[in-house]
Chain A
Amino acid sequence: MDALEIQKAAGLMKNTVRVERAIKDITQQQLADAIGVSRNTINSIESGKYVPSTVLALKIARYFDKSTDSIFQLDEND
């Protein structure tokens, strides 16, 4: 069972940024500084309030060395 399935089972979010961050053991601020956005934006992405643009999603995926698909997935409502 991978991280995305756990989250889907819990019904919490549409992306695994928070989980990936926990695996890499970095704070929201560190991730924000690394990809050049504000901490507020990272928090909004993690809680599903803001859907990032393609560029930002790709940047996040590249930072975690994963494919974009494994981090961001379409919601049932989308």
Chain B
Amino acid sequence: MQIPQIILNLKPNHYYKFLFLFAKLICHYEKYTYLCIQKTKLIPAMNNKSILMPHTCQKIGWCFLIIFVILELAKALFVHNIDVAWYFAKASHATFIISIFLICLSKEKVEDEMISGFRLKSIGVAAYVFFVLFLILSLFLELRLATLFPSIPEDLELYMSEAFLIFLPLLLFILYFGIFKWMLWKSKKQQAL
């Protein structure tokens, strides 16, 4: 690749100017984004309002999850045509995403400060667990560690990379919700004792 003459002619102080301009641009962008967020009142700390959806959405989300399970079961049991199975897979994938979105991002029946504390904690734990899983999976795929074990079939790597693309972004939400529910269950269990 050839470097353009204009860049070669630049003196060191020009670079600083460019850097400065770039930083200024980023600052303006940040300021603009911040103003946009402020205008739409998305920062919960500023107006003390929860950005979560109402509890009814969670119920709808569970319904979607049931539809997902039914679609998957129907695909596995009754659909033998590969073209039809593809449509089933797309539909079940969409329902799964919608159900996870509705379930994870809606309020509990009574949303109070202790529950928001649980949410915060579970996001932290989920981030850790997700990062570790992400690291293991990427090492497994990038370094092709599966080839070291002859007992692992070659197809598995392909399946894993597919799962990596489709389900890893959702895994963060699932982890968060699972840890959150587990924390709630634990505190309710202690209450019963």
Q: Which residues of chain B are within 8 angstroms of A50 by Cβ–Cβ distance? A: 114, 117
Q: Are B112 and A37 in contact (CB under 8 A)?
A: yes
Tell whether, in the assembled complex, residue A44 and residue B187 are in contact, meaning their CB atoms are under 8 Å apart: yes
**B190 on the A face (CB < 8 A):** yes
Determine if B110 and A37 form an interchain contact, defined as CB atoms under 8 angstroms apart. yes
Instruction: Say whether chain B's binding surface is mostly helix, strand, loop, or mixed.
Output: helix
Instruction: Flag if B191 contacts A38 (CB, 8 Å).
Output: no
User: What residue of chain A has the Cβ atom nearest to residue B190's Cβ?
Assistant: A49
**Nearest CB on A from B113, distance (A):** 5
User: CB of B188 within 8 A of chain A?
Assistant: yes
Task: State A39–B191 Cα separation when bound (angstroms).
Answer: 9
A interface, size bucket: 10 to 19
Q: Residue-by-residue, is A13-38 near B (CB-CB < 8 Å gives 1, otherwise 0)?
A: 00000000000000000001000111
Kindly list chain A residues whose C-beta atoms are within 8 Å of the C-beta of B141.
none
Besides the known contacts A40-B184, A43-B191, A47-B190, 5 further A-B residue pairs in the complex with CB atoms under 8 A apart: A38-B115, A40-B191, A44-B114, A49-B190, A56-B113
Q: List 8 A-B contacts (CB under 8 A).
A: A36-B110, A38-B109, A39-B191, A40-B187, A41-B112, A44-B114, A50-B117, A56-B113
Which residues of A are at the interface with B, using a C-beta cutoff of 8 A?
Answer: 32, 36-41, 43-44, 47, 49-50, 52-53, 55-56
Binding site for A on B (CB under 8 A): 108-110, 112-115, 117, 184, 187-188, 190-191
Identify the 10 closest CB pairs spanning chains A and B, nearest first: A37-B112, A38-B110, A41-B114, A43-B191, A41-B112, A50-B114, A53-B113, A38-B112, A40-B188, A40-B187
